[in-house]
Amino acid sequence: MEATASLPEWRSNLAMIAALMARSKNELLRVPGAAIPGVLAPTIFFLGLNGVFGALTQLNGFETGSYESFIVPVSMLQGAGFTGAAAGVNLARDIEAGWVDRLLVSPAPRWVLLTGTVLSASARSLIPASSVFAFALLLGAGWPGIDGLLVLFSMVAAMAAAAACWGSALALRFKSQSAAPLMQAGMMGLILTTTAYAPLALLQPWLQSVAEVNPVTEVIEAARQGFVGGVSWAGTWPGIVALLGMLAILGAWALREMRRTAR
C-alpha cells in the first residue's frame, strides 16, 4: 500500500480493486483444477437438462423447437450463480484464515474491498459461460447474433456480481464455509424459480406466481432473446433494471455486513 499512499484516492482505490482481482486471477492460474467444478456443473446441467427435458418443446406454447436454445441462457446464468456463490465461499475461507481481518485494517474503503471480490467473480463467470455456450453451439443451439451475444454475456457477468454480493454477505454474516450450501441453494432457487424450464404459460400455477415476481425471470428473458427471436430494447431493459435492483440491494447488504465485521 505504500506505493499507492501518495496517489489520489480514486487511483489508490482502483489499484486496490486491481490487486484483489489479480489475486483472484492468481488463484485460478495456480490451481486451475479448482475451476473445473465451476465449469463442469453448469455444463452437465445443460447437457443433462437438454437430454432429459428436450421433448418439452413438443408442448403447445413453446417459443422455439430447440430446447438447447431455450435452456442455454439458463445454464450460463446458473454458472454465474455458482461462480458468485464460490466467491462467497472463498471469502469465508479467507475470513477463517484471518486474511480478511488484515484487509479490514488497511486504509482501503469497504466498498473497494467488496468491489474487488465482486468484479473478480464477474470476470470468472465468463469461463463457465463460454464453456456452456460452446457446447450449446456444438449441439445445435441457434446463433443469438452479435447483439444477442452481448446482452447474454453482459447479463451473465452482472448476475455473477449479484451472486457474489449474496455470497459475500452470507460469508461475512456467518464467517464460516459451512454457509456454502445456503449460498449455492439461494442462487439455485433464485435462478430456477423462473421461466428456466418452460415459458411462463406452461409453468404450474404456484411456480408461475413465483416467476412473475422473481426479478431473475426478467434477466433470463432478456438473456434468452437472441435464441428465441430478435433482440429489442423492450426485451432488454427489464433485465437491466432487475439486475441493477439486485446489485443495489445485495451490494448494500454485503457492505453492511462488512462494516459490521470490521466493528
Partner 1 sequence: MSQLATNARVVRALGMRSLRQTFRRPQLIAPILIFPTLLLAIQTGGAGGAVDLPGFPPVQSFLQFMLAGAMMQSLMLAGNSGGIALAVDIEMGFTDRLFSAPIPRFAIVLGRLAGTAALGLFSSLWFLAIGLVFGAEIESGVPGALIVIALVTTTAMAVGGIGAAIALRTGKASVAQGLFPLVLVVLFLSSAFFPESLMIEPAKTIAEYNPLSFVVDGIRNPIIAEINASDLLDALLAIAGIVVLGLVLSARALRHRLRVG
CB of 112 to partner 1, least distance (A): 31
CB of 207 to partner 1, least distance (A): 3
Which residue, 53 or 111, is less far from partner 1 as judged by CB? 53
Which residue, 200 or 262, is less far from partner 1 as judged by CB? 200
Residue ranges that bind partner 1, judged by CB under 8 A: 36-37, 40-41, 44-45, 47-56, 58-59, 67, 177-182, 184-185, 188-189, 192-193, 196-198, 202-204, 206-207, 210
Which residue, 22 or 59, is less far from partner 1 as judged by CB? 59
Return the C-alpha torsion angle 27, 30, 32, 38, nearest 10.
-10
Minimal CA–CA distance to 175: which of 97, 84, 263, 259? Answer: 97
d(CA 190, CA 186) in angstroms, rounded, equals 6
CB of 182 to partner 1, least distance (A): 7
d(CA 131, CA 40) in angstroms, rounded, equals 9
d(CA 96, CA 92) in angstroms, rounded, equals 6
CB of 161 to partner 1, least distance (A): 23
CB of 204 to partner 1, least distance (A): 4
Burial (Cβ within 10 Å: 0-12, 13-18, ≥19) of residue 80: buried
Which residue, 8 or 61, is less far from partner 1 as judged by CB? 61
Which residue, 115 or 125, is less far from partner 1 as judged by CB? 125
* CB-CB contact of 132 with 43 (8 Å): yes
For Cα atoms 140, 84, 42, give the angle at the middle one, nearest 5 degrees: 25
